[in-house]
Amino acid sequence: MKSLIDRLKKVKEEAKSGGGIEKLKKIKEKGKLTPRERIDLLLDEGSFQEINLLVKYNVGAPGDGIIIGHGTIDGRKICVFAHDASVFGGSQGYMHGKKLYKIYEIALKSGIPIIGLNDSPGARVIRPDLAGSDDPYKVSDEKHAGVVFYINTKCSGTIPQISAILGNCTGGSVYSPALTDFIFMVDGISRMFITGPRVIEKVTGEKVDLETLGGAKIHSQITGICDFRVNSEIECFKEIRKLLSFLPSNYKELPPVIKCKDSPVRECIEIENIIPENPKTGYDVKKVIKSIVDNEEFLEIKKEFAQEVVIGFARLNGKTVGIVANQPIVKAGCMTVESSFKQARFIRFCDSFNIPLLLLVDTPGYLPGKQQEYEGIIRHGAKVLFALSEATVPKIAILLRKVYGGAALGMGILPGFGTDFVFALPTAEIGPMGAEQAVQLFYKDELDKAEDKEKFLKEKIEEYRKEYADSIAIASKVSYIDDIIEPKDIRKYAINHFELLKNKLREPFKNKWHDNMPL
């Protein structure tokens, strides 16, 4: 028995060496961590349990370029995989794909989150004369890397899926992460693209480097694919752990509740000084958010993309909430093509995983202009309406200052979108358009004839505001505004009413095969 045990230990140690010391050394020389270092830094110390350690490519490459298993983060079970770039560059061969598919199935069956540490160029390119049994196109099997997108889709809305891009990832190794819920990228080492620079130059003649084509900055600021851009792999793993602390393990569970030392009845006096009374004056809504939430802790998502809307996770009295807020210091808080995608996807994630929504509203409407129309603001704006209409989690909207026109729909202010409570501050204005624009439209002839145009305009604007836009006046005429509250009481009202809604009966929104969201 001892000799067999000794042999087993030796074989396992060899398997853990991946492509060998020299190849692992080359990974380190590129400023990257090895796959096993990544797993150890991500998970609780000593918690990783590997699966299929001894599975290998038919010519002996350990693990066939991927490590799979399970462990814990803050004591909670998760599944994880890490591409091993020391074995065939981390490319996806047949056994590699079988292992990848398998860990997703385990996570789905167990009802626990899955985290992918991606560092793969995608499908392995094999010379036909050397293909043998490893050629995925010569093996008949329904569960492999080429169809991991199917299991990604089955996991969607069932368990949280988190991807870290930690190398040059192409093809299937970017399509699969794109189907997951959140993507992390590290400056200097993370790149995502379908087609690499050499192929692009050969086909189109266009010259582009790796970073410009698909670096972390590009996907954080331009494409919006990246949710979190960080400076190092160590920071990446810390942020993944932080994100998980806000999320449940699956769709049947509620998010973790953290013991809160921040008083649920704390007043937010500073908000009175943050929000200017003049609807044209900008302010940073993130200051409002941090004032409201527990211990000023706010995990912002896609912070560099479509900054006219702010989304992210926070806690109120120790319980996770998803926040959607207009940002008045960027494009005046207008809603856009880009912000619609950002907002709708976040709302749908929160609704999938039992996370209540807090909507902080201050927007003049959808951004006008030919470019927005050409880019499909009608279709993209409809995504938000669709997401809000389908969302059955508790929803509370607070009108901070203004909402005009269709934005009242897109921010869930008007009745009919299932928003459970709508509160407004005394500074709030509601109307089909701003008071100044309305007066100039309705009183154009009188304004042209007025001797003192400035005085006439000022008087009419004041009249319009009092009659049609003023929140206190409107609250006396409509029932969808539940109360006008003081800024200092926002936290208290939000906590009280989310507590009221904690057992809200959520009726499934489906009696059909599936919906047809305006993608």
Q: How far apart are CA 436 and CA 332, in angstroms?
A: 16
Using the Cα atoms of residue 381, residue 297, residue 252 and residue 235 in order, give the sign of their dihedral. positive
pLDDT of residue 246: 98
pLDDT of residue 388: 96
- Residue 190: both structure tokens together: 């993370």
- Residue 63: both structure tokens together: 């693990």
- Identify the residue whose tokens are 């928003």: 419
Q: Which CATH class is domain 12-245?
A: alpha beta
- Three-class secondary structure of residue 220 per DSSP: helix
Q: How far apart are CA 176 and CA 167, in angstroms?
A: 15
pLDDT of residue 219: 98
pLDDT of residue 128: 55
pLDDT of residue 508: 75
Q: How far apart are CA 400 and CA 446, in angstroms?
A: 33
Q: How far apart are CA 85 and CA 36, in angstroms?
A: 11
- Residue 266: both structure tokens together: 């704390």
pLDDT of residue 464: 77
Asked if 453 and 447 count as a contact pair (C-beta separation under 8 A), the reply is: yes
CATH T-level topology, domain 271-433+470-500 = 2-enoyl-CoA Hydratase; Chain A, domain 1 (3.90.226)
Cβ contacts of 338 within 8 Å, gap of 6 or more = 224, 305, 306
Residue type, 251: Y
How distant, in Å, are the alpha carbons of 381, 406, 411, 466 from that of 385? 7, 10, 8, 29
pLDDT of residue 60: 58
pLDDT of residue 468: 66
Domains 12-245 and 271-433+470-500 share a fold: yes
Among candidate residues 63, 171, 312, 434, the one labeled active-site is 171
- Compute the CA torsion angle 287, 292, 296, 300 (nearest 10 deg): -70
Q: What is the number of other CB atoms lying within 10 angstroms of the CB of residue 460? A: 20
Asked if 298 and 292 count as a contact pair (C-beta separation under 8 A), the reply is: no
Q: How far apart are CA 358 and CA 325, in angstroms?
A: 8
Residue 126 main-chain phi, psi, to 5 deg: -120, 135
Among candidate residues 65, 122, 172, 381, the one labeled active-site is 172
Can you give the residue ranges of every domain in the chain? 12-245, 271-433+470-500
pTM: 0.94
- The beta strands (E) that lie in 280-381 are given as 298-301, 309-316, 319-326, 357-363
Active site residue 406: yes
Asked if 354 and 246 count as a contact pair (C-beta separation under 8 A), the reply is: no
pLDDT of residue 137: 45
Q: Which residues of 475-490 are buried (b: 16+ CB within 10 A; e: fewer)?
A: beeeebbbebbebebb
Residue 117's beta-bridge partner residues?
82, 164
Active site residue 408: no
Residue type, 98: K
Among candidate residues 61, 407, 428, 494, the one labeled active-site is 407
The angle at the Cα of 399, spanning 395 to 401, to the nearest 5 degrees, equals: 160
- Residue 490: both structure tokens together: 């926002």
Residue type, 45: E
Q: How large is the greatest C-alpha to C-alpha distance in the chain, in angstroms?
A: 106
Asked if 247 and 160 count as a contact pair (C-beta separation under 8 A), the reply is: yes
With both helix axes pointing from N to C terminus, report the angle between 233-245 and 35-42 in degrees, rounded to the nearest 10.
40
pLDDT in tens, the chain (519 residues): 888 998 888 888 888 888 888 999 999 999 999 999 999 999 999 999 999 998 876 665 788 899 999 999 999 999 999 999 999 988 888 889 999 999 999 999 999 999 999 999 988 876 555 555 555 444 556 677 678 999 999 999 999 999 999 999 998 899 999 999 999 999 999 999 998 899 898 999 999 999 999 999 999 999 999 999 999 999 999 999 999 999 999 999 999 999 999 999 999 999 999 999 888 899 999 999 999 999 999 999 999 999 999 999 999 999 999 999 999 999 999 999 999 999 999 999 999 999 999 999 999 999 999 999 999 999 999 999 999 999 999 999 999 999 988 889 999 998 888 999 999 999 888 877 777 777 777 777 777 777 777 888 887 878 777 776 677 777 777 778 999 999 999 999 999 999 999 999 888 777 888 889 898
pLDDT of residue 143: 74
Q: How far apart are CA 251 and CA 154, in angstroms?
A: 12
pLDDT of residue 17: 86
Among candidate residues 111, 282, 318, 406, the one labeled active-site is 406
